[in-house]
């Protein structure tokens, strides 16, 4: 099986930003789910972990669960994944609740045959045959909006995933971009950046808007405002 996985991943293609999330029927700890239809009208965050009963993955599951209510307030759901079997997921989740006092409430995909992982590009031959730590943020229309990949040896920052989801939602609502380290950017704080002017007239209008106090600008191509 390992040889087949390596050959298929090398010849396959990782899904890209802006593409529809592939239609997949998955076995989870909460029954069979059809993605992305199951979450239609909601954002969902699919994250993979290398293996059950491992220390870093355990810390991540606890961290995701502790942010679960915040994700739900943002109309987003969580769904985990690894190539372990369902019974392993269930036993590990029981262990987390029994030993750490944290009840995992989101479903976890049992991809023991590796089919889902292959479609999503989660197995990187240079890092072994387990799934790497990937994150897919998918919008209510089933479009992939953000992808993150971490190696097995580094746990994810869940606050960054929360921040990224908030930023995507604000960007969608207001047609703006968000700066580095938002909402604590070193230059403009928590303000949002207007899309770059694409013609001379718009560039001139941006500077007039700045004169009227409607926006702030370093120059016509770098204007920002509070939202």
The full DSSP string for 150-181 is E-TTS---HHHHHHHHHHHHHHHHHT-B--TT
- Tokens standing for residue 125: 């031959």
Distance CA 71, CA 66 (A): 10
The domain 2-156 is placed in CATH, from the list 3.40.30.10, 1.20.1600.10, 3.40.50.1370, 3.40.50.2300, at 3.40.30.10
Q: What is the mean pLDDT of the chain?
A: 92
Report the pLDDT value the prediction gives residue 130, as an integer from 0 to 100.
Answer: 80
Q: Report the C-alpha gap between 124 and 153 in whole angstroms.
A: 14
The CATH number assigned to the domain with range 175-227 reads 3.30.1020.10
Task: Give the rounded distance of the alpha carbon of 43 from its chain centre.
Answer: 10
Q: pLDDT of 66-89, one tens digit each?
A: 999 999 999 999 999 999 999 999
223 or 115: which leads in pLDDT: 223
pLDDT tens digit string along 141-179? Answer: 999 999 999 988 999 999 999 999 999 999 999 999 999
The stretch 111-123 carries a mean pLDDT of 87
pLDDT exceeds cutoff 70 at 137: yes
Lowest mean pLDDT: which of 99-103, 123-127, 168-172?
Answer: 123-127
Task: Give 140: exposed, middle or buried? Use CB within 10 Å, 0-12, 13-18, 19+.
Answer: middle
Residue 9, pLDDT score:
44
What residues are annotated to the active site?
Answer: 57
The ranges assigned to domains in the chain are 2-156, 175-227
Count Cβ atoms below 10 Å from residue 208 Cβ, excluding itself. Answer: 11
Kindly tell me if the per-residue pLDDT of 65 is higher than 90: yes
């Amino acid at each position: 099986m390992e040889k087949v996985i390596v050959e298929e991943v090398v010849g396959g293609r990782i899904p890209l930003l802006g593409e529809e999330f592939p239609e997949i029927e998955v076995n989870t700890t909460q029954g069979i789910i059809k993605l992305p239809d199951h979450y239609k009208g909601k954002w969902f965050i699919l994250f993979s972990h290398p293996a059950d009963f491992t220390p870093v993955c355990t810390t991540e599951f606890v961290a995701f669960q502790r942010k679960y209510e915040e994700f739900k307030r943002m109309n987003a759901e969580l769904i985990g994944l690894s190539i372990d079997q369902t019974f392993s997921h269930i036993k590990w989740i029981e262990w987390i609740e029994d030993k750490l006092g944290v009840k995992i409430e989101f479903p976890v995909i049992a991809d023991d045959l590796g089919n889902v992982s292959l479609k999503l590009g989660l197995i990187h031959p240079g890092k072994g045959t387990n799934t790497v730590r990937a994150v897919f943020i998918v919008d209510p229309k089933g479009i992939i909006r953000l992808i993150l990949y971490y190696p097995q040896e580094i746990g994810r920052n869940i606050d960054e995933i929360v921040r990224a989801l908030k930023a995507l939602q604000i960007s969608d609502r207001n047609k703006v971009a968000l700066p580095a380290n938002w909402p604590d950017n070193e230059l403009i704080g928590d303000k949002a950046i207007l899309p770059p002017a694409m013609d001379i007239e718009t560039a001139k209008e941006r500077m007039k808007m700045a004169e009227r106090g409607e926006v702030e600008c370093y120059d016509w191509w770098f204007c920002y405002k509070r939202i």
